[in-house]
Amino acid sequence: MAFDNLITEKRDGIGVITLNRPKVLNALNSALMRELGEALTAFEGDDDVAVMVITGSEKAFAAGADISEMQSKGFADVYKEDFITSEWEQILRCRKPVIAAVSGYALGGGCELAMMCDFILAADSAKFGQPEIKIGAIPGSGGTQRLTRFVGKSKAMEMCLTGRMMDADEAERSGLVSRVVPADQLLDEAMKTAGQIAGLSRMAVSMCKESVNRSYETTLSEGVLFERRVFHSVFATEDQKEGMAAFVEKRAPQWRNR
Ligand code: CAA
């Protein structure tokens, strides 16, 4: 796959997408987001890919939506094209896990993009924020909603109202990121984590992702019921038989992804 604003690579069952507009700190313009949607769709449909990783540069995962591109838009423009959400939500339609590996700035749409991924691995240099308020706007791709669910109302409100950035330690303490690693090890750690997941049953991984995601959309009792039904479904898969047999027989499982 050849793109103008991304670099894509396939390695050991992992599809890596590197945002690549270094001169503007990976500002997310419509061309980049269209390409990101295409890259995700291609990896989603590629049997050689089990897990995806989205990353940026050392200085910036992404410094937000491209301000130069959107500054002259009017209400009718953004309303008609359903700016920005419809294109970006491609990431939410992936059934394979998507990991965000964040180094440097993840601001505005960059923070929102990272939060749409299944989990965020952060370099110790990472900085997260929703600074849209400083340019007379508000977050437009779920920032007020997802950040609040991740870190709670008080911190999310303060960050959205002031544009204050959160460093990697605070992001880990607050539950925004799963883990912080030294910046020079970020991609290796992301690949290692993605590799662990890629070595598991794809059926089980996909069902597990669906179940965790359901917790954001429903009540506890409905979510637990959903989980139990998915758990029951697992017993219809060959991989459940193989995984449990391999444990009992003290051997490595041979996944069939069925
Ligand atoms: N859009 C367009 N260009 C951007 C950009 C953005 N979001 N962020 C940075 N750039 C460009 C700068 O204009 C600059 O370009 P030039 O070299 O041509 O001047 C280049 O990237 C480097 O940036 P800086 O010189 O500003 O770098 P810095 O190290 O001094 O500061 C920064 C880094 C703090 C991230 C600063 O660039 C900044 O504040 N960027 C804007 C952050 C922002 O407001 N993001 C929210 C955007 S709105 C949004 O995302 C809406 C939504 O919810 C979807």
Cβ atoms of 112 and 132 closer than 8 Å: no
> The dihedral of CA 247, 94, 151, 60: what is its sign?
positive
Residue type at 201 in one-letter notation: S
CATH superfamily of 6-198: 2-enoyl-CoA Hydratase; Chain A, domain 1 (3.90.226.10)
Enter the DSSP assignment of 75: H
Q: Which CATH architecture has domain 201-249?
A: Orthogonal Bundle (1.10)
Closest CA to ligand 1's atom 20: 24
* Model-level ipTM above the cut of 0.90: yes
Closest CA to ligand 1's atom 38: 63
Which ligand 1 atom is the nearest neighbour of the CA of 67?
Answer: 1
Q: Domains of the chain: which residue ranges?
A: 6-198, 201-249
Which ligand 1 atom is the nearest neighbour of the CA of 163?
Answer: 44
Q: What percent of the chain has pLDDT over 70?
A: 100
Q: Report how far residue 240's alpha carbon sits from residue 225's, in angstroms, rounded to the nearest whole number.
A: 20
Helix (H, G, I), strand (E, B) or coil at 11: strand
For the cut 90, the answer to whether the pLDDT of residue 85 exceeds it is no
Give the Å distances, CA to CA, from 163 to 145, 150, 155, 177: 15, 17, 11, 19
Ligand 1, from 5, 25, 134, 164: best to mutate by most atoms within 8 Å of Cβ?
25
Pinpoint the alpha helices (H) of the chain: 30-44, 67-70, 75-80, 85-88, 109-116, 143-151, 153-162, 168-173, 186-198, 202-214, 220-234, 238-248
Buried b (16+ CB within 10 A) or exposed e, 141-166: bbbbebbbebbeeebbeebbeebebb
Ligand 1, from 67, 138, 167: best to mutate by most atoms within 8 Å of Cβ?
67
Which ligand 1 atom is the nearest neighbour of the CA of 139?
Answer: 53
Closest CA to ligand 1's atom 27: 25
Active-site residues, by number, are 65, 109, 112, 132
Closest CA to ligand 1's atom 23: 24
| Beta strands across the sheet bearing 60-62 | 60-62, 105-107, 127-129, 166-167
- Predicted confidence at residue 83, as pLDDT, reads 87
The residue assigned the tokens 């409905």 is 222
Q: Report how far residue 87's alpha carbon sits from residue 37's, in angstroms, rounded to the nearest whole number.
A: 7
* pLDDT tens digits for range 108-117: 999 999 999 9
Burial of 44 per CB tally in 10 Å (0-12, 13-18, 19+): middle
Which residues are paired to 62 by β-bridges?
106
For the cut 80, the answer to whether the pLDDT of residue 87 exceeds it is no
- Identify the residues whose C-beta falls under 6 Å from ligand 1: 24-25, 27, 63-68, 84, 105, 107-109, 112, 131-132, 135, 137, 139-141, 143
Residue type at 80 in one-letter notation: K
Burial of 111 per CB tally in 10 Å (0-12, 13-18, 19+): buried
- Predicted confidence at residue 84, as pLDDT, reads 82
Q: pTM value?
A: 0.97
- Predicted confidence at residue 248, as pLDDT, reads 98
